[in-house]
Amino acid sequence: MMIRKMPDIFSKPLPEHIAIILDGNGRWAKKRMMPRTFGHRKGAYNLKDIAILCDEIGIKELTVFAFSTENWNRPDEEVNFLMTEPVKEIRKYLDKIKESNIKISFIGRRTKIPKELLQLVLELEEITSDHKGLHLTICLDYGSRYEICEATKIIAEEVNRGKISVEEITPELIEKNLFTKDLKPLDLLIRTSGELRISNFLLWQLGYAELYFTKTLWPDFNKKELYKAISSFQQRERRHGGLKEEKK
C-alpha cells in the first residue's frame, strides 16, 4: 500500500482565517443509501473534529456555513431536523465545550430560528465568551445579501438621523456594519463537494481571499484534506492588486 505523506504546513505561515462551505452531506448519505439527515449528523461530528484540529494547529479563526437563508426552501422534514437535532446533540457536550479553548459565535438572522435553537446559540456564546483558542463562527440562517442589506439599513438610518453624511460612507464603514466586523480578513475559503460556486456566502469578505475547491464531500473532509488546502494556500502569491515582492 502506498503511504502518502501529510503535506508540511508548518514551515510557512498558516492562514489566520479560514472559511468553509460545508457541502455534500446529502450526497454522502445517498452514496450509502441512507437518509440525508444521516449525512447531516456525520457532517456535524466532522465539524467538531475539524474545529478541534484547527485549534490544535493554531488557526485563529474558522468560519463555517451551516445553514443559508435559502436552505429554508428544503423539505420541511430536513429543515426541521437541522433546526432541532443539533440542540439535542450539542446539549450533551456543553461541559466539554465549556472546558475547551474554543470560542463559539453565531452570525446570521436570529428572528426565524426556533427558540430552543436560539437559546442554545446564546448559551454557547456565553459559556465560551472568554475562551482564547480558535474562534469558531457558525453562519446560521446566514446569507451574504441579507448581511449587506442589514448593514445598508443601519448606515441609511445614520444618514437619516444626520449622524453621518453620504460622503462618509466608505468600504471601511460598510465593513464595520457587517456581521463579521470583529473577524480578521478572510485568507482562505474552502468549498467541499465539487460545487464551483459561492452560494451567497461572505460575498464582500471574499474580495481577496484565496479559493480552494475540493470534490471531497464534507463528512469525508479530514486532517489530510485540510492540510492539502492549507498547503495549496501557502503556495499562492497574494498581491492584493500590487506587484510581486522582489527578493533582495
**Binder to ligand IPE among 15, 24, 108, 143 (CB under 6 A)?**
24
Q: Which is nearer to ligand IPE, 30 or 60 (CB)?
A: 30
Query: Which residues, 52 to 71, sit near ligand IPE by CB under 6 A?
Result: 65-68, 71
Residue 199, interface with ligand IPE (CB under 6 A)? yes
Task: Assess 21 for contact with ligand IPE (CB under 6 A).
Answer: yes
Can you tell me whether residue 141 is helix, strand or coil?
strand
To the query of whether residue 101 is one of the catalytic residues in this protein, the response is no
Q: Which residue is nearest to ligand IPE (CB)?
A: 26
Contact set for ligand IPE, span 25-54 (CB under 6 A)? 25-27
Closest approach, Cβ 71 to ligand IPE, in A, equals 5
Left, alpha or beta for 88 (phi > 0: left; psi -120 to 50: alpha)? Answer: alpha
Cell numbers 454557547: residue: 124
Residue 102 to residue 130: CA distance in whole angstroms: 9
Q: Please report, as residue ranges, which positions from 15 to 54 form the binding site for Mg ion (by CB under 5 A).
A: 23
**Do the Cβ atoms of 187 and 16 come closer than 8 Å?**
yes
Instruction: Fill in the amino acid letter for 196.
Output: L
159 and 165 in contact (C-beta within 8 Å)?
A: yes
According to CB under 6 A, which residues from 91 to 150 bind ligand IPE? none
Nearer to ligand IPE, 123 or 220 (CB): 220
Grid cell of 85 as nine digits: 437535532
Query: Which residue, 46 or 128, has its beta carbon nearer to Mg ion?
Result: 46
Using rule CB under 5 A, residue 141 touches Mg ion: no
Marked catalytic residue, from 49, 71, 76, 130: 71
Where on the phi/psi map is residue 200: left (φ > 0), alpha (ψ -120 to 50), or beta? left
CB closer to ligand IPE, 151 vs 202: 202
Shortest Å distance, C-beta 151 to ligand IPE? 21
Nearest alpha carbon to residue 153 among 170, 128, 129, 178:
178
Strand 103-107, strand 61-68: pairing: unpaired
Q: Is 195 in the site for ligand IPE (CB under 6 A)?
A: yes
- Give yes or no for residue 22 binding ligand IPE (CB under 6 A): yes
Amino acid identity, residue 30?
A: K
Alpha carbon 224 to chain centroid, angstroms: 19
Sign of CA dihedral 102, 64, 106, 86: negative
Nearer to Mg ion, 22 or 121 (CB): 22
Closest distance between Mg ion and the C-beta of residue 80, in Å? 18
Q: CA-CA-CA-CA torsion for 152, 155, 159, 162, nearest 10 degrees?
A: 160
Which residues are annotated as catalytic? 23, 71
> Which chain residues interact with Mg ion by CB under 5 A?
23
Which spans of this chain sit near ligand IPE (rule: CB under 6 A)?
21-27, 65-68, 71, 82, 193, 195, 197, 199
